[in-house]
């Protein structure tokens, strides 16, 4: 995990219309090598910082939310600049709007958030070399095995909001 004294970190889209601030260290930073992320990003992987929505502050125009298919079949909502169309974060069906997956490359200083783990490496491009010292898994993982204690504690605090979101889907 990165040092917590670098926060807040600002970011945004290419044209500057959508701006945001990450107020706190992310729960975890995933480097996802799944084919869905490869297709969606047009790159070999996606680098996402998972953070509670409460710690991501909007500084500019609100992004446009685009419903996009996902491997789970439940879809994801991608926040894009309405002008330049750059994706700045997404919300997956599991936690809905409660947790955001910030596109690390949209930070003004993306160097501060290297991956904590490489996931779905079974479908990574064969020429991608994984760095020594960074955990990797063939698919997904058990949170308790890789998340730091502080992140697990923060997840417990936000879990009631996630459960309320899930309940609203069942009754809505």
pLDDT tens digits for 83-98?
999 999 999 988 999 9
| Span 14-41, average pLDDT | 95
pLDDT for 99 equals: 97
Query: CA-to-CA distance for 30 and 50, rounded, in angstroms?
Result: 8
φ, ψ of residue 68 to 5 degrees: the values are -135, 140
Is the Cα dihedral 168, 171, 77, 118 positive or negative? positive
pLDDT tens digits for 44-103?
999 999 999 999 999 989 999 999 877 777 778 999 999 999 999 999 988 999 999 999
Give me the chain's average pLDDT, please: 93
CATH of domain 4-171: 3.90.1590.10
**117-119 and 28-32 strand pairing:** parallel
User: What is the pTM for the complete model shown?
Assistant: 0.92
Query: CA-to-CA distance for 143 and 146, rounded, in angstroms?
Result: 6
Query: CA-to-CA distance for 69 and 95, rounded, in angstroms?
Result: 16
Q: How many Cα neighbours within 13 Å face the side chain of 128?
A: 19
User: HEC profile for the chain?
Assistant: CCCHHHCCEEEECCCCCCEEEECCCCCEEEEECCHHHHHHHCCCCEEEEEEEHHHEEECCCCCEEEEECCCCCCCEEEEECCCCCCEEEEEECCCHHHEEEEEHHHECCHHHCCCCEEECHHHCCCCCCCCCCCCECCCCCCHHHHCCHHHHHHHHHHHHHHHHHHHHHHHC
- Give the position of tokens 């697990």: 152
pLDDT for 4 equals: 63
């Amino acid at each position: 995990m990165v040092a917590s004294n670098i926060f807040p970190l600002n970011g945004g889209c290419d044209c500057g219309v959508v701006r945001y601030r990450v107020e706190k260290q992310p729960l975890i930073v995933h480097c996802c090598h799944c084919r869905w992320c490869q297709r969606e990003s047009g790159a070999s992987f996606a680098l996402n910082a998972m953070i509670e929505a409460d710690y991501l502050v909007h500084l500019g125009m609100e992004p446009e939310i685009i419903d996009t298919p996902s491997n789970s079949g439940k879809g994801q909502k991608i926040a894009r600049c309405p002008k330049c169309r750059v994706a700045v974060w997404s919300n997956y069906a599991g936690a809905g709007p409660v947790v955001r997956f910030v596109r690390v490359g949209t930070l003004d200083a993306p160097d501060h958030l290297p991956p904590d783990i490489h996931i779905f490496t079974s479908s990574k491009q064969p020429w991608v070399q994984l760095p020594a010292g960074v955990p990797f898994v063939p698919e997904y993982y058990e949170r308790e095995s890789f998340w730091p204690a502080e992140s697990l504690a923060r997840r417990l605090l936000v879990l009631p909001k996630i459960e309320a979101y899930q309940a609203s889907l069942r009754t809505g």
